[in-house]
């Protein structure tokens, strides 16, 4: 079974959350925008941690 690259998966998830957040903001759903933005920030923190481990 192929394991894959966790950093790429997180990067894709991060970009998807940002896109969803942008759409929510454009639609005027600020509460959903805030929730998605928080999730994106949490994913970004994980990405930074992986980047630090690779150094």
Q: Give me the helices (H) in the chain, please.
A: 6-26, 30-54
The predicted-structure confidence for 12-50, as pLDDT tens digits, reads as follows 999 999 999 999 999 999 999 999 999 999 999 999 998
Return the structure tokens found at 32. Answer: 């959903």
In angstroms, the CA 51 to CA 42 distance is 14
In angstroms, the CA 46 to CA 44 distance is 5
Question: How much is the pLDDT for 53?
Answer: 85
Q: Which residue has the higher pLDDT, 26 or 54?
A: 26
Q: Which residue has the higher pLDDT, 13 or 55?
A: 13
In the 8-state DSSP scheme, what is residue 28?
Answer: T
Q: Which residue has the higher pLDDT, 1 or 6?
A: 6
Helix, strand and coil percent figures for the chain, each rounded to 5 = 85, 0, 15
Q: What is the pTM of this model?
A: 0.85
């Amino acid at each position: 079974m192929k394991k894959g690259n966790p950093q790429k998966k997180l990067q894709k998830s991060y970009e998807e959350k940002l896109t969803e957040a942008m759409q929510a903001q454009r639609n005027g759903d600020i509460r959903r925008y805030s929730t998605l933005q928080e999730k994106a920030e949490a994913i970004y923190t994980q990405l930074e941690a992986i980047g630090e481990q690779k150094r």
